[in-house]
Amino acid sequence: MSTATSLEQPTLNAADRCDRCGAQAYVRAVLPSGGQLYFCAHHARQVEESLRPQAAVWQDETKRLEEERSASL
């Protein structure tokens, strides 16, 4: 298991959508098979405990939410 940074994986953008609800994705889980799952911050928190140990890469960009929120104030 590894935690990827934006240098290792392309940064998630507005076109990347949560597989559960369609909101903007801030977490990408890359599976050992090569498949990818995308989650909004809410759904990533719900599945992290069970999915993260199985993921080859867990790319978490949820800190961007605070940065974006601060920039808009």
- Give residue-wise pLDDT tens across range 3-34: 544 446 899 999 999 999 999 999 999 999 99
- The per-residue pLDDT for 5 is 45
Question: H helices of 1-73, where?
Answer: 41-51, 63-71
Q: What is the per-residue pLDDT across 52-73, written as a single tens digit (0 to 9) for each?
A: 999 999 999 999 988 877 787 7
Average pLDDT over residues 32-48: 98
Domain ranges of the chain: 13-63
Classify residue 63 by its DSSP letter.
H
Which residues 6+ apart lie within 8 Å of 39 measured at CB?
Answer: 18, 19, 20, 25, 26, 27, 28, 29, 47
